[in-house]
């Protein structure tokens, strides 16, 4: 029955599915993480434990589906790429708390839900990509993005994208709503064009001379630098350097990829074993090498390529506070009409 439900879900959402025959040892995963990013880790888990993994991938709607399925949901775990989706799933009531010594030891408190309903597995920094040709400075702050000296020089993706909302929410957590609104208005005034495209598209715009700096997640640099299928992206990457904002004070904003245990997980014990494995030394090394992300396990170093971008101080504010400010951040984006671009 569960296998049928997983197949039906895949057909309904138009998503990719990996559905091996059901076995005594299995765990069913709903995932916002693209399959190629997690398959090496899941394969290693199966090799070590014998527990099979069944994966459904979708770009949206998984937490709503879990809520609609209720007690009949086949989902054991939800893997996500942003604190917003993890906390949103918690608010939808589709997660259950986990009290686990391995998770609490390996994952720093600021990357865990206060109620134990979601856990960060990797971090990524929200950085500034700066033109090597047209930007001389080697340090910057997020506050500085509102400085008129950057007028017509900033590119970014939509203000309503989850990565942008996370950064704005962090500003609210540190500066309050009014100061963040003023800052956001200043950033909007400095945009080179209407926000559009993904993080890599902003670097392409820098390469093309359309702007001088952009906001982006760190791992996109690794994806561009190693993209043999689209080698032009290597040229984009070569045209910029990474600046880690606020490294001299509170630190650079970081977001997480993470996991939560489904409320009605039918394979709860196996799911918790997988959660423990994802926070283990072995899996954290794989995350570092495959995904160009920063491990949450402090004893595991980033990959050689990631370390080549330089060291930085990460903002230690709890992601719980950032999650609480996300709704207000989204409201501010609309209030200042950020996605309309510069006047």
Tokens of 107: 């994952």
Tokens of 214: 């952009």
- Look up the pTM and report it: 0.87
**What is the mean pLDDT of the segment spanning 178-204?**
98
Q: Which residue has the higher pLDDT, 19 or 150?
A: 150
**Where residue 121 falls among pLDDT bands split at 50, 70, 90?**
very high
**What is the mean pLDDT of the segment spanning 95-101?**
98
List phi, psi (to 5°) of 121: -115, -35
**What is the mean pLDDT of the segment spanning 90-102?**
97
pLDDT of 9 above 70: no
* Residue 37 near residue 290, CB atoms below 8 Å: yes
**Where residue 34 falls among pLDDT bands split at 50, 70, 90?**
confident
Count of C-beta atoms within a 10 Å radius of residue 337: 12
Count of C-beta atoms within a 10 Å radius of residue 5: 15
pLDDT of 12 above 80: no
pLDDT tens digits for range 53-87 = 999 999 899 999 999 999 999 999 999 988 989 99
Which domains are assigned to the chain?
2-122+256-302 (3.40.190.10), 123-252+314-340 (3.40.190.10)
**What is the mean pLDDT of the segment spanning 250-260?**
96
pLDDT tens digits for range 261-276 = 999 999 999 999 999 9
């Amino acid at each position: 029955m569960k296998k049928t439900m997983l197949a039906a879900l895949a057909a309904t959402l138009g998503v990719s599915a990996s559905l091996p025959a059901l076995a005594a040892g299995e765990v069913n995963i709903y995932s916002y993480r693209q399959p190629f990013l997690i398959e090496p880790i899941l394969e290693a888990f199966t090799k070590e434990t014998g527990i099979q993994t069944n994966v459904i991938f979708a770009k949206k709607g998984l937490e709503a589906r879990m809520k609609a399925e209720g007690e009949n949901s086949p989902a054991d775990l939800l893997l996500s790429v942003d604190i917003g989706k993890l906390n949103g799933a918690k608010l939808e009531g589709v997660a259950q708390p986990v009290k686990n010594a391995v998770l609490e030891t390996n994952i720093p408190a600021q990357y865990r839900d206060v109620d134990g309903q979601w856990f960060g597995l990797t971090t990524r920094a929200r950085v500034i990509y700066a033109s090597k040709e047209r930007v001389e400075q080697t340090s910057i702050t997020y506050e500085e993005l509102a400085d008129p000296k950057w007028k017509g020089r900033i590119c970014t993706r939509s203000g309503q994208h989850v990565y942008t909302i996370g950064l704005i929410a962090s500003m609210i957590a540190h500066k309050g709503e009014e100061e963040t609104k003023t800052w956001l208005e200043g950033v909007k005034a400095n945009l080179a064009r209407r926000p559009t495209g993904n993080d890599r598209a902003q670097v392409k715009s820098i390469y093309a001379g359309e702007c001088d700096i952009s906001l982006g997640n760190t791992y996109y640099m690794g994806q561009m630098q190693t993209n043999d299928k689209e080698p032009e992206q290597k040229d984009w990457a070569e045209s910029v350097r990474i600046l880690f904002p606020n490294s001299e004070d509170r630190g650079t904003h970081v977001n997480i990829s993470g996991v939560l245990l489904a409320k009605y997980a039918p394979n709860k014990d196996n799911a918790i074993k997988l959660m423990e494995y994802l926070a283990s030394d072995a899996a954290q090394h794989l995350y570092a090498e495959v995904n160009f992300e920063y491990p949450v396990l402090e004893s595991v170093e980033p990959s050689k390529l990631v370390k080549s971008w330089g060291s930085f101080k990460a903002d230690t504010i709890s992601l719980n506070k950032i999650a609480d400010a996300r709704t207000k951040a989204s409201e501010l984006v609309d209030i200042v009409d950020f996605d309309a671009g510069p006047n």
